[in-house]
Structure 1
Amino acid sequence: MEADVSRGDYIDPKAGKALFADFAARWLESRIVDPSTKVRYEYIYRLHVAPAFDRRQVKSILPSHIQAWISDLNERYGPSTIKTSFLVLQGVLELAIADEAIKKNPARSPVVQMPKHNGEELIAWADERVHAVIHAHPDFFRLIPAIAASCGLRQGELFGLALEDVDFDEELVRVRRQIKKLGADHVYALPKNDRERVVPLPQWAAEAIRRHVKVHPLLACSLP
Structure 2
Amino acid sequence: MGHIQDRWYKEVPDPERTPKKIRVPTVLHGKGMRYKVRYIDPDGQERSKSYPDKKLKDARAFLAKVETDKLTGDYIDPEAGKTTLREYCDNWLKGQSQDESSQRTMRSKLEKQVYPCLGARSLSTIGAATIRDWLSWMNGKNISESHKSQVFNLLSAVLSAAADEKKIRTNPCKTKGVKKPVPDKRKITPWTEGRLRKMQLALPSRQFVVIPLGSGLGLRQGEILGLSPDDIDRHQMTVHVDRQLAYVGNRPLFKLPKGRKTRTVPISRGLLEVIDDYLEAHPPVTITLPWGKTTGDPVSVRLLIVNDAGGVDPGDAFHRRHWLPTFTRAGLTYVPGNDGMHALRHFYASTLLAQGVTIKELADYLGHTDPGFTLRTYTHLLPSSHEQARRAVDSVFKPRRPEKVVSGPGTA
The answer to whether structure 1 residue 50 and structure 2 residue 115 are counterparts is yes
| Conservation of the 8 A alpha-carbon contact between 1:176 and 1:197 | yes
Are residues 1:158 and 2:224 paired?
yes
Q: Assess, with a 3 A threshold, how the Cα gap between structure 1 residues 208 and 84 changes in structure 2: closer, same or farther.
A: same
For the residue of structure 1 that corresponds to 2:239, the secondary structure is: strand
The structure that is helix-richer by fraction is 1
Match of 2:84 in 1: 19
**Structure 2 residue aligned with 1:170, among 213, 217, 236?**
236
Q: Secondary structure at the match of 1:187?
A: strand
Alignment partner for residue 28 of structure 1, among 93, 100, 104?
93
Residue of structure 2 equivalent to 1:126: 192
Structure 1 residue 208: Cα displacement: 1.0
Task: Give the aligned partner of residue 127 of structure 2.
Answer: 62
Match in the other structure for 1:182: 248
- For the Cα contact (< 8 Å) 2:149–2:182, is it kept in 1? no
1:85-124 superposed matches below 5 A = 85-124=151-190
1:2 aligned residue: 67
Letter in 2 for 1:29: K
TM-score norm. by structure 2 comes to 0.50
| 1:39 counterpart residue number | 104
Q: Deviations over 1:57-92 (max 9, x none)?
A: 111111132134235435632344223322331233
Question: CA, structure 1 residues 207+57, in 2 after alignment: closer, same or farther (shift >3 Å)?
Answer: same
CA contact (8 A) 1:27 1:91 kept: no
Q: Which structure's residues are more often strand, by fraction?
A: 2
Q: Deviations over 1:104-126 (max 9, x none)?
A: 11122122232333532222222
SS in 1 for 2:169: coil
User: 2:76 aligns to what SS in structure 1?
Assistant: coil
Amino acid of the structure 2 residue aligned with 1:69: W
Tell me which residue corresponds to 1:78. 144
Identity of aligned residues (%): 28
Distance 2:92 2:117 in 1: 17
TM-score relative to the length of structure 1: 0.88
- SS of equivalent to 1:45: helix
SS of 1:198's partner is strand
| SS of match in other structure, 1:64 | helix
| In 1: Cα distance, 2:146 partner to 2:251 partner | 23
The structure whose RCO (Cα within 8 Å, separation 6+) is larger is 1
Letter in 1 for 2:193: D
Q: Aligned pair in 2 of structure 1 residues 117, 89: CA closer, same or farther (>3 Å)? A: closer
TM-aligned CA distance change 1:89 to 1:116, over 3 Å: closer
Give the aligned CA root-mean-square deviation in angstroms. 2.2
3-state SS of paired residue (2:252): strand
Supply the distance in 2 between the matched residues of 1:37 and 1:83 (Cα, whole angstroms).
Answer: 17
More off after superposition, 130-139 vs 77-86: 77-86
Q: Secondary structure at the match of 1:113?
A: coil
